[in-house]
Structures are given as C-alpha cells and as structure tokens.
Amino acid sequence: MLEPLLSQLNSMRVVLASSSKQRANLLSSMKLKFDIVSSDYEENLNPRDHTFSDFVEKTALGKLNDVHEKLKTDSRPPDLIIASDTMVTCNGKMYGKPRTKEEAIATITDLTQQDLPNSVYTGVVIWYKNKIHKFTEVTTVYMAPLTDKEILSYVETGEPMGKAGGYGIQGLASTFVTRIEGDFNNVIGLPLCRLAFTLKRIVTGST
C-alpha cells in the first residue's frame, strides 16, 4: 500500500510519539524509517467527560503535542509525527492499562465472563506541515469464557500489565480470543491499513 510513497516518506524525519514496542514493531513492518520519541504527557482525561473516540483522539493529541514541543528546536525538526492511544470498552465501561494484579484480574473477569464482546478503540493523530489529521479505528473482539483459575493463571504470566484492556492479542490472549471483527493490528495498538491510507492522502494530497 505504501510502496510508491516510501521513498518520499523515508526522505523525511518521521517520528513515532510512543514508547510502545508493539507500535514500533507494527510501524517497522511497513518498511517506514522513523525515530521513536516517548511522550511525557499525563494521561488524566476523565472518561465520563468524553465519548470513547473523543477520549483516545484527545489522549493521542496530548502525546503528539508533547513530543512536538520537545522537538521543535531540534537540529532536524520532524516533518511528520504519529501518535496514538488505545483503550478497550465492554458493556459501556472503559478499560485502560491495569496498574495492579487485582485490576488485571477484575478487567479480564469482566471481558470473559459477561458473554459480551469488547471493543478496541485506537485514536491516531498525525502532524504534517503544521496540520493535524486524526481518526479512530474500532475492532470488536470476542472471547471464550474463562474460569477464575484460568484468569488468575493468565494474569500471573504478567502479559496483561501495560496493555489496554489487560490482554495482548498477539500473545497468550490469542488462546481465548474466538474471533474479531475489524483490523487485528488495531487491537495491538496501531491500525496499519487505515494509517497507510491516511498517510497517502495527506502526503500526496489525494482524496
């Protein structure tokens, strides 16, 4: 998808505003050259004040603005910055990254014992030529029911920590995900197909 654009993009300084190894690996799979600059943005938005899409887009924008501020006086300022934020919802409730083992257990319990799918929202914000472009991608994930013992066993692997919704679909969680509707990469943290189309549109000026 990006092949005709790669030479143009790779002549720029592209920055990924994220410390996520998963996002970096996904972006690398596009053969795109980029720098990684972590954001220090304090993710403190109140979920009750925002729609799900608005929440992830505003959080991603906060990360982007933080990194843009850091780099604006750099010897080689960025030409393009990509930032994103991912969270999971189920039955109207928002789930971020569990901070404790107990939070992880409660999250996985909710996601696997309510007989309801969860939805993964990733907001992506791109800065290019002093303009902001943003979108949200949503993927629906269906999970098999787990027992309390199975949930505890999964949480004790450590995989849920640092992941939105407390699970890594590319890891052990794949053993209890029955199916998905939408972009698999979106669940990991970066919707590559939508990102590629958006980069093509904003860099070439095409519709």
- Residue positions annotated with a catalytic role: 85
Residue (of 9, 42, 47) closest to 128 by Cα position? 9
Say how far apart CA 185 and CA 169 lie, in whole Å: 9
Distances in Å between the alpha carbon of 43 and those of 14, 59, 60, 99, 199? Answer: 23, 6, 9, 13, 26
Confirm if 147 and 113 have CB atoms less than 8 A apart: no
Confirm if 139 and 184 have CB atoms less than 8 A apart: yes
- HSE-CB at 63 with a 13 A cutoff on CA atoms is 28
